[in-house]
Amino acid sequence: MIDRQLFKLAGASAIMRKLAVIEILQAFFIIGQALALSAVLTGLWEGHALNWLLLLLFIVCFALRQLINTIRDAILNKYSGKIAEDLREKLLTKVFNEGQALVQKQGTGSLITMALDGVDEVRQYVKLIYSKVLTMMIVPIIVFICMLCLNRLSAVILLLMYPLIVLFMIILGHAAQDKAIKQFGRFQVLSNNFIDSLRGIDTLKYLGLSKRYSKSIYRLSENFRKKTMAVLKVAMLSTFALDFFTTLSIAIIAVFLGFDLMNGKINLFPALGILILAPDFFLPIRDFAGDFHATLNGKNAFKRINELIAAPKEPVKKIALTDWSA
């Protein structure tokens, strides 16, 4: 689902090391704010005075978590912008060097779409994938270790639910990916058709064919709209499935913890800690799945632009001159 070429870009190793450190810090801030809040609520429930030190710790961890996210976004915005501009420069250099031969083969509308919208989608794709993949690889592991220390049974139950969510994400992701690839091809056809019609509008009017071509563009655009809605239906279905299973998992844990609290098998502090950490345990994969559908066009554009840049030079057809003096 993720283009491996994305992690071979210039500066990828350095940016991933920075992001890995940021995600580790974020995981510890998540744990800090959860445990601090659990301790404050437990103390109030037991009739003690409000512990201002723990409350301050919660506020600090929460603020640092937001600050870490802001720093991460700033780093990714700068890096993704640089990658996108480099791709645009390489693509335009390719077009200028090969000239009319490449334009005739690929289509004017397709190249314009790649150079403008395609590069912007690649920028968003790079930003989201670098962020979400590392978050999904680091944060749940550290949070799970903390939950394992608080209550082993609850942590194991949450861990068993995790592969089911991943399985549904893969199944629905493949379905959405196939539809998105076909939709990307239709968008290129629509772009070429529209640009060619605009370029030849004077000739079409002169021949009385302008209305016929306007109806053709309308049919293509309507078909594109219907197919786009079909892709969005799959995306919404996958989002609903992920939200349902994550909510169900947290509800199951809440029921088990409730019975254990009533039977005196667990104290209030670890129970609250588990319940507060459980949503953050599933949050990275939910964010990744939600943004995955938003980055499908970016992935297709990234692959297509790289194919155009790496393609061999188009041969120029030479017109043989006839020697009329013979």
> For the domain that residue 282 is a member of, what is the CATH number?
1.20.1560.10
Backbone torsions φ then ψ of 312, nearest 5 degrees: -65, 155
Residue 1 has pLDDT above 50, yes or no: yes
Contact in structure between 249 and 282 (CB atoms under 8 Å): yes
- DSSP state for residue 6 in the 8-state scheme: G
Please say whether the dihedral angle defined by the alpha carbons of residues 167, 169, 172 and 175, taken in this order, is positive or negative: negative
DSSP state, residue 10: T
In order, the DSSP letters of 33-57 are: HHHHHHHHHHHHHTTPPP-HHHHHH
Which residues, 6 or more positions from 15, have their beta carbon under 8 angstroms from its beta carbon?
Answer: 75, 76, 79, 130
Nearest to 256 by CA among 157, 171, 176: 157
Please state the rounded mean pLDDT for residues 244-265.
85
Give the pLDDT of residue 319: 46
When pLDDT is cut at 50, 70 and 90, the band that residue 206 belongs to is low
Predicted pLDDT at 224: 67
- Of residues 208 and 33, the one with the higher pLDDT is 33
12-42: burial string, b at 16+ Cβ within 10 Å, e else: beebeebbeebbbbbbbbbbbbbbbbbbbeb
Q: How sure is the predictor about 205, in pLDDT bands with cuts at 50, 70 and 90? A: low
Classify residue 223: in a domain, yes or no: yes
* Amino acid at site 193: N
Please name the amino acid found at residue 24. I
Q: Which helix (H) or strand (E) holds 188?
A: helix 152-199
pLDDT range class, residue 321, cuts 50, 70, 90: very low
Average pLDDT in the chain: 77
Q: Does residue 214 belong to any structural domain of this protein?
A: yes
Considering only CA atoms, which of 230, 145, 142 is closest in space to residue 179? Answer: 230
Does residue 320 have a pLDDT over 50? no
Name, in order, each residue with C-beta under 8 angstroms of 10's C-beta and a sequence gap of 6 or more. 83, 86
In this predicted structure, the answer to whether residue 244 has a pLDDT above a threshold of 70 is yes
Least confident piece of the model among 8-12, 138-142, 216-220, 287-291: 216-220
Instruction: For residue 23, tell me if it sits in a domain.
Output: no
Residue 292, pLDDT above cutoff 60: yes
* Average pLDDT of span 36-45: 90
* Residue 69 pLDDT exceeds 50: yes
Q: 253 CB contacts (<8 Å, ≥6 apart)?
A: 154, 157, 158, 274, 275, 278
Record the tokens describing residue 122, joined without a space. Answer: 């690649």
Neighbouring CB atoms inside 10 A of 289's CB total: 25
Q: Which residue has the higher pLDDT, 323 or 155?
A: 155
In a domain, 18, yes or no: no
Instruction: Determine, yes or no, domain membership for 105.
Output: yes
Domain that holds residue 129: 81-310
Residue 254 CA to its chain's centroid (Å): 30
pLDDT at 179: 62
Does 141 reside within a domain?
yes
Residue 322, SS3 per DSSP: coil
Would you say residue 323 has pLDDT above 60? no
Q: How many domains does the chain divide into? A: 1
The number of CA neighbours under 13 Å toward the Cβ of 19 is: 25
Q: Is residue 28 part of a domain?
A: no
pLDDT in tens, 95-129: 777 666 666 666 565 666 677 667 777 888 888 88
Written as one letter, the residue type at 87 is: L
60 in any annotated domain: no
Across residues 30-41, what is the average pLDDT?
Answer: 92
d(CA 253, CA 259): 10
